[in-house]
Amino acid sequence: MDISIFTNKQIIPNENNILESLGVTYELWKSIRGYVTLKYPDAIEEWNYSGDKYGWSFRIKDKKRAIIYLLPRDNYFKVAFVFGQNATDIIMESTISVQIKKELAEAKKYAEGRGIRIEINNKNILNDINKLIDIKLAN
């Protein structure tokens, strides 16, 4: 089951909890957070408890929508995005990895767009994540 490592509704995770739980991927977590706030300085960061089935997630948003979700796991994390049709079209024409494009193409389409989750366990994918953040912010 794909669930946050933080499941206690009474305890909002803090930086020490993240550092302890993510291990070496903590630097990647900080890098992605830093990239979003560099590109969008007014970003709002917040923890969100989605219920016992999902636990805590961290989201970075603008005034009206989520830009990216960071989903803490045991020694790694996932990022999640929701892309509308325009952004999806741009991603499909971009240099982003074939695997991400495939997952996006296969994602169920909802009114707000297509959602994807990408596992982050090494720095090799950071360039693609930054491109996805740029596309999300531009669309």
Question: Which CATH number characterizes residue 88's domain?
Answer: 3.90.1150.200
Q: What is the pLDDT of residues 53-106, one digit of tens each?
A: 889 999 999 988 999 999 999 999 999 999 999 999 999 999 999 999 999 999
Q: What is the pLDDT of residue 96?
A: 97
How many domains does the chain fold into?
1
Rounded to two decimals, what is the model's pTM?
A: 0.94
Q: Would you list the DSSP string of 10-54?
A: T----HHHHHHHHGGGHHHHHHHHHHHHHH-TT-EEEEEE--TTT
Query: What is the reported pLDDT for 52?
Result: 86
Contacts of 38 (CB under 8 A, 6+ apart): none
Residue 48 tokens, joined: 């969100």
34 belongs to a structural domain: yes
Burial 115-125 (b: 16+ CB within 10 A, else e): bbebebbeeeb
Q: Would you say residue 1 has pLDDT above 70?
A: no
- Whether residue 23 is predicted with pLDDT greater than 90 in this model: the reply is yes
Q: Please determine, for residue 22, whether its predicted confidence score (pLDDT) is greater than 90.
A: yes
Q: Is residue 67 part of a domain?
A: yes
Residue 25, pLDDT above cutoff 70: yes
In a domain, 9, yes or no: no
Angle 136-114-36 from CA coordinates, rounded to 5°? 25
pLDDT at 108: 92
Q: Is residue 79 part of a domain?
A: yes
Is the residue at 2 inside a domain?
no
Residue pair 133/39 in contact by the 8 Å Cβ criterion: yes
Query: Is 20 among the domain residues?
Result: yes
Distance in angstroms (rounded) separating the CA atoms of residues 118 and 112: 19
Provide the residue range defining the domain that includes 104.
Answer: 15-138
pLDDT at 43: 96
Mean pLDDT rounded to a whole number for the chain: 95
